Chain A
Amino acid sequence: MTNRRAVFAGTIVLTVLALATVARADTISYADAVSLLANDCGSDIRKYCKGLNLGSGRIQSCLEQNEGKVSPACTVTLANVITSIRQRQAAQSSFATICKHDIAQYCKSVKGEGNVLSCLNKATRVNEGQCGQAIIDAGWR
């Protein structure tokens, strides 16, 4: 019975770990995100969105309006790229909140956001924790 309970508990731990890994998808840089867009949608953009620009969602709405004509790969990539950009933005704006405690603990006297970041990056304890992960997700390590 004790053994079985131990196995059961072990399974739960493994499942939780697995879920945590799945839930925390890696973010990618803005450059990588729009490179995917250029690769998979470049020819559709040139064909259907001539004269339109990347800014203010114009390429996005053009591709969406022409959904029946653009390649299926492009439609999938477009949605992924928008999600990737959002995830990176969310990671970058949550940095200050997630790292607040570590900043107070390890980099209290450091001035300037850039210096605070290099201070955090040097602290081993930070690297192992939530703040370290936030820095990776923001693309700053």
Chain B
Amino acid sequence: MKRIQFKALLTIGLMLSAGEGVAQQISDMQLVRTLGRVENAAPAIDVALLVEEATASAGKGVANLPNWQKLSKLSQLILDIEFENDSVAIEPKSYRTVGLIADALHHPNLRRYKFLVVGHTSSTGDAQHNLKLSAQRANAITEALSTTFAIAPDRLYSIGVGEEWPLDAANLKAPENRRVQLINLGLVQ
């Protein structure tokens, strides 16, 4: 019975995401599968170094973020979590996405791993301000995960990169540049 419900959900999810163009209807099992593909050669990430790099090069773009580029080698996915304008408050319509992350991170396949939440903004507004806001928003997500959903805080890291690493580099103000990356950082020590 459970299995049938799950399949139905998956089908609906795929149909919706095809229609809306945004993969927000993914299930927690898809998250578990995507985030659980861990390569042996995955680079070790020093989160403090990432913060240093981002702070030093606000407004100068991704070319000044050599350590950030290592992140693209890790298992990850991009999520759309909406916030109130210029605020750290997650919009109620995005609560579900945070809940999905919680479902995935509690799954036995992923319980051994730690995760990095990266906040990105579009280029609307001041680069320094965007950097700060993106970090605060990423932190708001990990805070919700570790309190409301009881994910162990030592498995969660948050960081913001502001507008420096756009998905759509030709159109820096594009709303799809506002996004959240969820990255598997490897085994909890």
Residues of A within 8 A of B (CB): 29-35, 37-38, 41-42, 45-46, 49-57, 85, 89, 92, 95, 112-114, 116-117, 136, 139-141
Q: Is B174 an interface residue (CB 8 A)?
A: no
The A interface is mostly helix, strand or loop, or mixed, namely helix
Nearest CB in chain A: distance from B164 CB, A: 24
B100's nearest neighbour on chain A, judged by CB, is A31
| Residues of chain B at the chain A interface (Cβ within 8 Å) | 2-3, 28, 36, 84, 87-90, 92-93, 95-100, 102-103, 106-112, 140, 143-150
Prevailing SS type, chain B contact patch: helix
Identify the closest chain B residue to A37 (Cβ).
Answer: B95
- Chain A residues positioned under 8 Å from B148 (CB to CB): 34, 54-57, 85
Chain B residue nearest in CB terms to A56: B147
The answer to whether B107 and A140 touch across the interface, beta carbons within 8 angstroms, is: yes
| Contact of A42 with B107 in the complex, beta carbons under 8 Å | no
Look across to chain A and name the residue whose beta carbon is closest to the beta carbon of B86. A51
> Does the CB pair B89–A51 fall under 8 Å?
yes
Which residues of chain A come closer than 8 Å to B103, judged between CB atoms?
29-31, 139
Q: List 29 A-B contacts (CB under 8 A).
A: A30-B100, A30-B102, A30-B149, A31-B96, A31-B97, A31-B99, A34-B95, A34-B99, A35-B96, A38-B95, A42-B92, A42-B93, A51-B88, A51-B89, A52-B89, A53-B88, A53-B90, A53-B143, A54-B140, A55-B146, A57-B147, A85-B148, A85-B149, A92-B106, A113-B108, A113-B112, A114-B36, A136-B2, A140-B107
